[in-house]
């Protein structure tokens, strides 16, 4: 066993990641090793070795915490791969994580087999449903009740302040951003682009103020349609919670997303600083 750092990417990719999913481009896998919020003092993962050759790998994505957050370390597990002949040693890769029970740990894309294993290890349900919200013509015409919605350039966040500016600076060009402003509140939306059944869609990774987002849904949809040609919003149920708009379709996930934490709740754990952003999931 050994820690993995940025310089190990080529070997880990050639020996393991290409086997995990050959459809994923090398440049996308590389994001797990090189990303804007990378903390060089921490490893990007752990590897199982045999005679110097990597035979297993588990990606560890640590979230930076703003100064006002005194809570536990957050670690997102991603891309667990072990060569067939070494599967009996797979659990050794979890050792560095399980040895820190004070950490908050998320597994956002487990397989069915891995999901059962993590539940036996004490992980709880983080998410059960994916939500789909088609763009509605009536909302596209609705004025938005005085809401201002604008796209944010990560290279120049403009008037963003505090936690919102910090999030944009940390994620940089890995995501897209909308700033929302109502009469008494401001919000930030962090999102990515994808496709649903071949149609362009927007995936919501984080919404700082779900109520404000719902009230601004008309101008939000107009901007997303104009900017990206998107016809669908996709998001996990916890992202908007009780403020999920009417007309949203709820689809059960094939395997529940899981987490373990002593001090953080499900609604605190969105998709920030995770594989969902880096791998465009």
DSSP 116-164: HHHHHTT-EEEEEEEEEEE--HHHHHS--TT-EEEE-BTTB-TT--HHH
* 147, part of any domain: yes
pTM above 0.85, yes or no: yes
Domain stop point among 102, 121, 147 = 102
- Does residue 141 have a pLDDT over 70? no
Do 8 and 96 reside in the same domain of the chain? yes
Q: What is the CATH number of the domain that holds 8?
A: 3.40.630.30
pLDDT grade for 151, boundaries at 50, 70 and 90: very high
Quick: pLDDT tens for 193-237. Answer: 999 988 899 999 999 999 999 999 989 998 999 999 999 999 999
Q: How many domains does the chain have?
A: 2
pLDDT grade for 23, boundaries at 50, 70 and 90: confident
pLDDT grade for 21, boundaries at 50, 70 and 90: confident
Do 97 and 134 reside in the same domain of the chain? no
pLDDT at 137: 56
pLDDT grade for 20, boundaries at 50, 70 and 90: confident
Do 254 and 142 reside in the same domain of the chain? yes
Residue ranges making up the domain that contains 239: 130-258
* 281, part of any domain: no
């Amino acid at each position: 066993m050994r820690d993995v750092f940025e310089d190990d990417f080529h070997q880990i990719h050639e020996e393991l990641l290409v086997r995990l999913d050959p459809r994923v481009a090398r440049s996308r896998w590389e994001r797990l090793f090189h990303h804007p919020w990378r903390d060089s003092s921490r490893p990007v993962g752990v590897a199982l070795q045999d005679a110097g050759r990597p035979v297993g790998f588990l990606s560890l994505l640590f979230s930076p915490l703003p100064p006002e957050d005194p809570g536990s370390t957050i670690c997102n597990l991603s891309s667990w791969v072990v060569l067939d002949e070494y599967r009996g040693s797979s659990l050794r890769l979890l050792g560095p994580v399980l040895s820190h029970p004070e950490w908050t740990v998320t597994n956002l894309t487990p397989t069915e087999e891995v999901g059962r294993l993590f539940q036996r290890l004490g992980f709880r349900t983080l998410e059960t449903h994916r939500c789909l919200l088609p763009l509605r013509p009536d909302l596209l015409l609705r004025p938005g009740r005085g809401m201002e919605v604008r796209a944010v350039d990560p290279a120049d966040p403009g008037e963003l302040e505090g936690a919102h500016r910090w999030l944009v600076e940390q994620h940089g060009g890995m995501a897209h951003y909308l700033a929302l402003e109502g009469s008494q509140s401001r919000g930030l939306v962090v999102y990515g682009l994808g496709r649903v059944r071949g149609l362009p869609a927007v995936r919501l990774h984080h919404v700082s103020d779900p109520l404000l987002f719902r009230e601004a849904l008309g101008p939000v949809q107009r901007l997303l349609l104009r900017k990206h040609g998107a016809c669908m919003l996709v998001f996990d149920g916890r992202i908007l919670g009780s403020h999920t708009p009417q007309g949203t379709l709820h689809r059960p996930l094939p395997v529940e997303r899981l987490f373990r934490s002593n001090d953080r709740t499900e609604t605190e754990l969105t998709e920030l600083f995770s594989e969902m952003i880096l791998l465009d999931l």
